[in-house]
Amino acid sequence: MDKDAAIKEFKKYEEMRMQMYDFFDRFIPKKSDGTYDFENGGQIDAKEAFDMFFKLDYQARKIRGIAINCLGIKPE
């Protein structure tokens, strides 16, 4: 994989990661220190949360493969 294609995959991961945090921000209020207040949070749509996580996890696994190939190591 060339450098530009790899960078595109990393950027896609970062976008998906930010979408996940945006999702949390819609449903979970934050405390005054900026951390999530799970005790006072609303209900999260489990299917939507799982779908977002699955996409993020898939992209992370793609990036893992790119990194392994670029470094020339064998995955465990």
pLDDT in tens, 30-59: 999 999 998 987 788 899 999 999 999 999
The confidence band for 75, taking pLDDT boundaries of 50, 70 and 90, is low
Q: How many residues does the chain have?
A: 76
Q: What is the pTM of this model?
A: 0.74
Largest separation between any pair of C-alpha atoms in the chain: 47
Helix ranges restricted to H, 1-76: 3-27, 46-71
